[in-house]
Amino acid sequence: MYETIRYDIRQQVAWLTLNRPDKLNAFTEQMNKEITAALRQVANDESVRCLVITGAGRAFCSGEDLGGVTEDMDHGDVLRTRYAPMMKALHSFEKPVIAAVNGVAAGAGMSLALACDFRLASEKASFVEAFIHVGLIPDAGNLYYLPRLIGHAKALELAVFGEKVTAQKAHELGLVTAVISEEAWEEEVARFAEKLANMPTKAIGLIKRCLRQSWDHSFAEYLEKEAFAQRIAGLTKDHREGVHAFFEKRRATFQGK
């Protein structure tokens, strides 16, 4: 079904693997479209309760494939037609998303990682705001997410100097959730994903929605958004299960419904 990505499901977790290892999983127009299609596929599959995005080979994603860049290219048009649909689909995605950063995440590849809810980094992973080195600005939503994660001053520093950030430094900055050893990589990523997949999926989606809305509304407006979201959460089967489990003094078994 897909040519530039791999897609499979294990233990209620969808694994989307960027699959151009010989090109360090660099983006092409086809890959942008296939990722967007896969995001829609996951969103519509009720059996999937968590998504992991990772890369094949030694890189997560090196950004745009410069082999397809020409001097007369309209970079704004490329963003509007190729990257915006992909990033909008990820931004509005209401299931938990993990970026399993197995190697370098550079340029738009870093943007993709920033847009995920959690970033697990291999000890050999790195992040590079590579745009400045070719006279461009960070794109694909990069400068929307970066200051929200690490603050304005540090985001400006990373964007302007474009220096490589190691996995450990990224963790110190608050850019990644955890750094995982190479030996434990696959096991720990799977464990983290399966933990999320067994949590109240609807509630997680509503938490993500409320966090997004908190940036764009007054406090009074946000309180109304919060009340609306809590009403939805209160009607879920997972809420009822959680209450029953509390009174019965047992571990809740959530179904994501």
135 and 190 inside one domain: yes
Distance CA 181, CA 253 (A): 31
Q: Are residues 105 and 144 in the same domain?
A: yes
Residue 94 lies in a domain: yes
60 and 113 part of one domain? yes
Model confidence at 71, in pLDDT bands (50, 70, 90)? confident
Same domain, 103 and 222: no
Parent domain of 232: 201-248
Asked whether residue 156 is domain-assigned, the answer is yes
Largest CA distance in the chain: 67
Instruction: Answer yes or no: do 117 and 184 share one domain.
Output: yes
Q: State the total domains in the chain.
A: 2
How confident is the model at residue 69, as a pLDDT?
75
The fraction of the chain above a pLDDT of 70, given in percent, is: 100
Q: What angle do CA 235, 238, 241 make, to 5 degrees?
A: 105
CA–CA dist 118, 52 (Å, integer): 9
Q: 10 Å Cβ neighbour count for 12?
A: 17
Residue 18 and residue 91 in one domain: yes
Rounded to two decimals, the pTM is 0.94
Residue 255 domain-assigned (yes or no):
no
pLDDT at 2 over 90: yes
CA 140/CA 107 separation, integer angstroms: 9
Provide mean pLDDT across the span 210-216.
94
pLDDT for 66:
82
The answer on 232 and 123 residing in a single domain is no
Tell me the pLDDT of the chain averaged across its residues: 96
Q: For the domain that residue 220 is a member of, what is the CATH number?
A: 1.10.12
Per residue in 105-146, pLDDT (tens digit) is 999 999 999 999 999 999 999 999 999 999 999 999 999 999
Q: Residue 177: which CATH number? A: 3.90.226.10
Whether residue 102 is predicted with pLDDT greater than 90 in this model: the reply is yes
